[in-house]
Structure formats: structure tokens, C-alpha cells
Amino acid sequence: MAIDYSQPGYKEMFANYGLTALAAQALEKTLLLLLAAVHCLEAGKVSKNDLHEILDKHDRKTLGQLVNALRSQVAFPQDLEAAISLSLEKRNYVIELFLNKE
């Protein structure tokens, strides 16, 4: 079924979807950098090449995979754990909605 993009409210809906996707991507990149920082703290001094290898290794991971990788290395405070879990749940919900509309 094709979507009629001329319907009222569609422009705002897709703008909000875009903002949501951008926020989710920003969260993913923040978690990627946090994962690299944790590795650097554990390893001590890390070369520029090592840092790039760490970032490249985890760059294609999904939000859930990044969260799980961090959970295996860092104990999140309970309120942060709840916020991250909620963000992951909401992000997956938005993606599912979008994928099921196509």
C-alpha cells in the first residue's frame, strides 16, 4: 500500500520522525565514544591507531549491541540503566513503526 504524503500532518510527522532518528543516532555515537573511553581507561595509554580500531570495531553495532557491550564493562547506576532501557525500547518502537509502514 502506497502512502499518500499529501495528507495533512504528514510533513510534521516525518519531520518529527527525522528528529527522533537523529537523536537515536546521537545516542548511539555517544555510547560508542563511551565504550572507547572505557577501553582506554582500562588499557592505560592508547595509541591513535588503537583508538581508531576500537571505534571501527564497534561502529556498525546497533544501539542494543552498544548498550550490551557497555553493560559488560560498566555498572550503570539504576536511574541511568532505566533511562537507557527506555530509550532503547522507544527507539525500537519508532523503527518498527516506520518499517511496517513501507
* pLDDT digit string, tens, across residues 4-63: 777 888 888 888 888 888 888 898 899 899 888 888 887 777 788 888 888 898 888 888
What share of residues in the chain are helix, strand, coil (percent, to 5)?
A: 75, 0, 25
Q: What does the alpha-carbon distance between residue 30 and residue 34 come to, in Å, rounded to a whole number?
A: 6
What are the angstrom distances between the C-alpha of 37 and each of 3, 12, 16, 29, 86? 43, 37, 31, 12, 23
> Is pTM, for the whole model, over 0.85?
no
What letter would DSSP give residue 45? Answer: S
> Residue 79: which pLDDT band, with cuts at 50, 70 and 90?
very high
Look-up of cell digits 533511562: 83
Contact 31, 73 (CB under 8 A): no
pLDDT at 1: 59
